[in-house]
């Protein structure tokens, strides 16, 4: 039996599909299932049981002997939310409770961290543990993820195997429900389809031209392959970056979305909203050497290929993974 939290969400629902493809069908999905717009992500998947996130630890106390692995991917991920109490409750305290339960019942754990922990990137993007206490995220979401990473590495008692994954800019199927927090590719698709053009944020940093802001965009299919690898690997515990190791510009992303739609590019710019302008990351690029060093050798999907697959095979037909 495999537990997946945040299971109705973007990355976790894609992981469930990957597990089903490998004939893992005794999957317990944990989430707040009252959010109806997410439920389509789980339609048609082979599942053992639905458990509300508020009832999960009571469920685990009863069923832990049957559980083989826990993927804790559930979190509040809104980077514009400023209420620290929400993140303390859902991201920090819930994850601490999960960690303690995995220690108590000797269960291996993979959990979701974030590249938001790197803040402005002035210290680079190395997943070396020595950098963790020095990182200064730019928003309460990033703080909550960094707080848990720091807490985890300091614990004397740890699960026999654990891994924290610092997700960079993940894009791909099953993000229809995410609204403003969906990937730029999703927003580009929607704008191009409706208006024939795409509007990007103008640069407010003199070091970057408009549209030349760079991020490490990683396809969700690659993300779940790493999760699957770690479930089978179960050694070399630690915190790992999960990007591609290659930064690409928003212009690259947008031009490839136009191409996947067989449309002529029409790109415009507007000011970055003031509520995120001061905390906007202009450059991210994962150092992937640590994950590679433990034996993960699959190539990561090129941005061009990932966008083409996502747009043509999922967004255009409105399909799910």
32 is in an annotated binding site: yes
Asked about 176 being catalytic, the answer comes back as no
57 is in an annotated binding site: no
195 is in an annotated binding site: no
46 is in an annotated binding site: no
74 is in an annotated binding site: yes
Whether 285 contacts 246, CB under 8 Å: yes
| Catalytically annotated residue among 94, 111, 125, 141 | 141
| Catalytically annotated residue among 178, 208, 296, 320 | 178
201 is in an annotated binding site: yes
187 is in an annotated binding site: yes
**Dist CA 24 CA 22 (whole Å):** 6
Asked about 141 being catalytic, the answer comes back as yes
**Dist CA 299 CA 127 (whole Å):** 19
**Dist CA 51 CA 239 (whole Å):** 27
158 is in an annotated binding site: no
Q: Which residue in the block uniquely carries the two structure tokens 């959990």?
A: 111
203 is in an annotated binding site: yes
Select from 204, 179, 184 the least CA-distant residue to 276.
204
* 168 conformational bin, left if phi > 0, alpha if psi -120 to 50, beta if neither: beta
145 is in an annotated binding site: yes
76 is in an annotated binding site: yes
Whether 67 contacts 1, CB under 8 Å: yes
**Dist CA 131 CA 109 (whole Å):** 22
Question: Which DSSP string corresponds to 11-47?
Answer: HHHHHHHHHHHTT---EEEEE-TT-GGGGGGGTT---
97 is in an annotated binding site: no
Decide: residue 259, CB within 10 A, 0-12 exposed, 13-18 middle, 19+ buried.
middle
280 is in an annotated binding site: yes
Give binding residues for NADP(+) as ranges: 10-11, 31-32, 38, 53, 73-77, 145, 170, 178
Catalytic residues: 141, 178
- Summarize the annotated binding site for substrate as residue ranges: 169, 180, 187, 201-204, 215, 280
């Amino acid at each position: 039996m495999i537990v997946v939290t945040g299971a109705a969400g973007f990355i976790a629902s894609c992981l469930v599909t990957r597990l089903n493809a490998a004939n893992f069908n005794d999957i317990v999905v944990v989430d707040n299932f009252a959010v109806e717009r997410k439920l389509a992500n789980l339609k048609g998947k082979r599942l053992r049981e639905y458990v509300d996130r508020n009832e999960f630890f009571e469920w685990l106390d009863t069923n832990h002997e049957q559980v083989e692995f826990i993927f804790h991917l559930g979190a509040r991920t809104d980077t514009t939310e400023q209420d620290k109490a929400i993140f303390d409750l859902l991201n920090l305290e819930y994850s601490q409770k999960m960690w303690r339960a995995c220690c108590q019942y000797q269960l291996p754990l993979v959990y979701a961290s974030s590249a938001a922990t790197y803040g402005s990137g002035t210290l680079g993007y190395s997943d070396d543990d020595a950098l963790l206490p020095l990182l200064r995220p730019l928003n309460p979401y990033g703080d909550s993820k960094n707080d848990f990473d720091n807490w985890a590495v300091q614990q004397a008692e740890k699960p026999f195997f654990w891994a924290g994954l610092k997700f960079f800019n993940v894009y791909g199927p099953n993000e229809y429900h995410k609204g403003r927090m969906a990937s730029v590719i999703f927003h580009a698709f929607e704008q191009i389809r409706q208006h024939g053009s795409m509007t990007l944020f103008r640069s407010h940093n003199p070091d970057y031209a408009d549209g030349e802001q760079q991020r490490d965009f990683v396809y969700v299919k690659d993300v779940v392959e790493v999760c699957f690898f770690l479930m089978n690997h179960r050694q070399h515990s630690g915190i790992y970056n999960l990007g591609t190791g290659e930064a690409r510009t928003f212009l690259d992303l947008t031009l490839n979305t136009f191409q996947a739609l067989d449309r002529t590019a029409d790109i415009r710019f507007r000011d970055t909203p003031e509520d995120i302008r001061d905390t906007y990351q202009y450059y991210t690029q994962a150092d992937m050497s640590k994950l590679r060093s433990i034996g993960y050798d699959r190539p990561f999907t090129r941005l061009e290929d990932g966008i083409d697959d996502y747009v043509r095979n999922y967004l255009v037909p409105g399909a799910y993974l």
